[in-house]
Amino acid sequence: PITAVVLVAAGSGERLGYGMPKAAVPLGGEPLLLHALRGVVAAGVGSQICIALPAGHDGLRQLVDDFRLELADAGPLLTVVDGGSTRADSVRSALAALEDGTEAVLVHDAARALAPEYVFERVVDSLAAGALAVIPAVPVVDTVKTVVATTGEDSKVAPELVTGTAPREELRAVQTPQGFHLPTLLRAHQAAQALGEKEFAAVTDDAMLVEMLGVPVHAVRGSTQSLKITTPLDLIIAEGLLEGPLG
């Protein structure tokens, strides 16, 4: 299928705490966005890459312009849109800017700047084999429990009370790039507009919206290298990964 990549890079990077949008934060001396862009281009999976950037950030726009010149005519079409106030809004803006004739889309977090090529390939292969939605996922290493905040006397003992333990064998930590049949993802984002504010705030990935439609979502093997650079610790790990791939 004719495939595009949406690269969402419009977040503010609050948890990283650099006082600048995360896409501009240096990793190995270069902005995170540059690493992410290189990774997407190297994977060679899209004829268009549409990047959602923080509105009004001239530096990041310049970075994309420079990168476009570097690619010259051989590379994919690089387009830029202003992101929105939530990730889902940024995705929606980018989807609206895809070229006519686009059949499939990979939605990727710029924050997963070191996602390996083979993960992109697994997602694309699954789409080519007929999946309408496919996500990269890895097993969860921690035991995961549900909790509630304690109240009254209980809160003197501890701030939270455990309500259950999730079956770890069935759990997966989900990454990007997530791949979709474009009309299906558009329909999912359309349906999301009917969600209440609280429900919408709980939407953390695109596959979740497709699940709500009742469309099957398939999972392929992701990679620990695709970590989402979120906290200062993640940045340290990413710097380490730049030194050489995992064994």
Q: How far apart are CA 110 and CA 40, in angstroms?
A: 10
- Encode 23-69 in three state secondary structure: HHCEECCEEHHHHHHHHHHHHCCCCEEEEEECCCCHHHHHHHHHHHH
Q: How far apart are CA 175 and CA 205, in angstroms?
A: 9
**Min separation Cβ 11 and Mg ion, Å:** 5
Using CB under 6 A, which of the segments 39-47, 60-68, 82-90, 216-224 binds ligand CTP?
A: 82-90
Nearer to Mg ion, 11 or 54 (CB): 11
**Min separation Cβ 246 and Mg ion, Å:** 26
Nearer to ligand CTP, 58 or 73 (CB): 58
| Whether 15 contacts 230, CB under 8 Å | yes
The 4-43 contact track toward Mg ion, x by CB under 5 A, reads -------x--------------------------------
Q: How far apart are CA 182 and CA 91, in angstroms?
A: 12
Using CB under 6 A, which of the segments 103-111, 165-173, 188-196, 232-240 binds ligand CTP?
A: 103-111
Applying CB under 6 A, the residues found at the interface with ligand CTP are: 8-15, 22-23, 52, 83-87, 90, 109-111, 228, 230
Residues that bind Mg ion (CB under 5 A): 11
